Structure 1
Amino acid sequence: MEKRVSVDKIIKDFYLIKLNEFPNAFIERPSINRAGLLLGGNFKRETLTKNIVGWGTNESEFLLSLSEEKRKKALKTVIGALPPLLLLSIGFSANLYQEVLQIAEKYKVQVVKSQEHLSTLIANIGSYLTEYFAKTVSVHGCAVLVNGVGVMIIGPSGAGKSEAVLELIQEGHTFVTDDTVVISRLGNRFIGKPATITQDFLEVRGIGLIDIRHTYGSSMIRAKLDIDLVLELVPDNENIIFDRLGKWDLEYNILDGAIQKIQIPVKQGRTISSLVVAAVNAYLVRKDGLDPLQKIQERILKENE
């Protein structure tokens, strides 16, 4: 079944005001169609049956410039294509509401208004829909915000991912998800969210499920984050040879893109959360253009002069 989002959810989440009342419909495409060309009849009917249509100041002025007969014909052209939602911004003239609602009543199309400008609505609702309809993939791992950096921690079961995240939460870092990270890609951004079933919960061996929201407070939770860095926990028995100076050219490939990755060897007695924070801080230093290895080499050269 293809993804879709209910009109009622959009109305609720973006504080839109209903001007009429019809059974809930569904949006199936990630865009808001501005109605300039649509009012002239330049569109494919099927494109409107799945998209929000938005009208603002320009559309209002165009409609008011028409004769009553031509205006009603233009309105019927768009509304008769049965868009799931007709969105009127603050710039749309209230003098046209009655005509719009009469035709919307005939075709049973939900009409709402907003106190925002259409450009703002397109940016906010459009961004939400783009993210919602983006291709996603689920990864076995945890996600946490550490010093402003979105981190996904991966590794085999029993490597200590959840325990590390619990320690990070207790140190004041922000929890996003445990066990499963649902990732979508928007351009060069990789967005990580929790799976619906496990949202807010962290599972720790020997303790069981911990409700982070009620145990540590809502301020310790985020609904999503940009994944900037992937940390892979590698058990000591994996026979991987680690460079003492670290490897900063590793990548985690996903959704036809890549995220920088650092491997952390896990040994008994090591505090993983401290290593996570150290890796994040090292990442931030390098992001600022500072390379510790280069500094060492520069010092060696000076010593040899």
Structure 2
Amino acid sequence: MADSVTVAELVKNVRLNVYAGEKYLEDRLITTSDISRPGLELTGYFDYYPAKRVQLLGITETSFTKKMTNKELTKVMEEMCQPETPVFVVSTNIEPPKQLVKAAEDAKIPILGTKVTTSRVLSNMTNYLEGKLAERQSIHGVLVDIYGLGVLITGDSGIGKSETALELIKRGHRLIADDRVEVHQQDEQTLVGEAPKILNHLLEIRGIGIIDVMNLFGAGAVRSQTPIDLIVHLENWSPDTPFDRLGNGTETSQFFDVEVPKVAIPVKTGRNLAIIIEVAAMNFRARSMGYDATKVFDENLNSLIKENSKEK
């Protein structure tokens, strides 16, 4: 988990314009993903002013400032420019009040602008900051994009996860991370996985070493991150271990507050794991769209039982 994000990073990733204070972009740190839209503060009420948050001003806030006297507005803007305040953002191509520009310059706080609406820039900044500042967990596994689904392949070391991922890449799918997957919760239902920076686009194959997937297979063979939709756990086959044969299991794994569906696949000589995992992803998507082959089998079985009962 990153402890902070610089205002310079916010400008680059949310595509904001620098209105004033460009020389302070690298020095100002954002430590929370919460965004503040100062309302009561403009009236002079600062008892619960969230000074550590990004301060966002839109049409509503700037319209209110036009009804304030120069003295009132100067005092409010100076009060809003606290040492821990990271940045001011003004939406909808609005020119910030000159009193704010003066107070922010004195406090060495940058002012950013954007042409998009307040709601849109609020959403964009929140999504970016939550992704960067969210708590992260490192998982041993391989993450691949199969037909647009994020599939996390887990299993004991040496069971063949990376080799299976290589075969999937050759079949046209994309690698996100090999060996270590950094995961974070994006929202109440979404878990996102990505590679640590040191392992970006790299895949380790025993006997060959480390290969650069992007260099060997092209930019279309890699992806920076993806939501994790399905976990495929590889297990060494054993006659004593029960495996789901009908596909009616409902096993899940939980990371943070998100539960992700999980299937266990036995590993045995002669099994093409890449094709099996590919089909598992396709079957998961079919189920998500309302088609369940297990239910079809049950219906066919019940129909056959009824026919045999009538004949008797």
Q: TM-score, normalised by structure 1?
A: 0.92
From the superposition, tell whether residues 238 and 166 of structure 1 become closer, same or farther in structure 2 (CA, over 3 Å): farther
Tell me, in whole angstroms, the C-alpha distance in 2 between the residues paired with 1:208 and 1:295: 45
Sort the Cα spacing of 1:111 and 1:282 in 2 relative to 1 into closer, same or farther, 3 A: same
Q: Secondary structure at the residue paired with 1:143?
A: strand
1:79 is matched with which residue?
A: 81
Question: Is 2:37 aligned against 1:34?
Answer: yes
Deviations 1:223-273 (A, max 9, x none): 111111000000125942223223521111221432110000011221110
Q: Give the drift of 1:51.
A: 1.5
CA distance in 2, matches of 1:46, 1:68: 21
User: Match for residue 274 of structure 2?
Assistant: 273
Q: 1:193 to 1:296 in 2, by over 3 A?
A: same
Identify the residue that residue 174 of structure 1 maps to in structure 2. 174
Q: CA deviation at 1:38?
A: 2.6
- Cα-to-partner distance string for 1:56-101 (whole Å, 9 max, x where unaligned): 111111111111111111211212454111111125335x2x3322
User: Deviations along 1:183-230, whole A, 9 cap, x unmatched?
Assistant: 111211111111121111111111111112222222222211111100
Deviation per CA, 1:153-195, whole angstroms, max 9, x where unpaired? 0000111111111111111112111111111112111111111
2:57 is matched by which residue type in structure 1?
Answer: W
Pairing 1:125–2:128 present: no
CA distance in 2, matches of 1:75, 1:232: 56
* Matches of 2:295 and 2:48, distance apart in 1: 61
CA change 1:51–1:79 in 2 (3 A) is same
Aligned: 1:253 with 2:247? no
Corresponding residue of 1:99: 99
Number of equivalent positions: 302
Tell me how far apart the structure 2 counterparts of residues 104 and 203 of structure 1 sit (CA, whole Å). Answer: 50
Instruction: Using the aligned pairs only, state the percent identity.
Output: 29
Q: Name the structure 2 match of 1:192.
A: 193
Which amino acid in the other structure matches residue 63 of structure 2?
Answer: E
What is the CA–CA distance in structure 2 between the aligned matches of 1:2 and 1:177, rounded to whole Å? 19
Mapped pair 1:301 → 2:302 = yes
Q: CA RMSD, aligned part only?
A: 2.0
The alpha carbon displacement at 1:278 in A equals 1.2
Cα distance in 2 for partners of 1:44, 1:212 equals 54
Query: Counterparts of 2:217 and 2:40 in 1: how far apart (Å)?
Result: 52
Which consecutive residues of structure 1, in runs of 5 or more, have no partner in the other structure?
A: none
8 A contact 1:248–1:261 mirrored in 2: no
Cross-structure match for 2:310? none
- The whole-number CA distance in structure 2 between the counterparts of 1:254 and 1:86 is 35
Partner of 1:67: 69
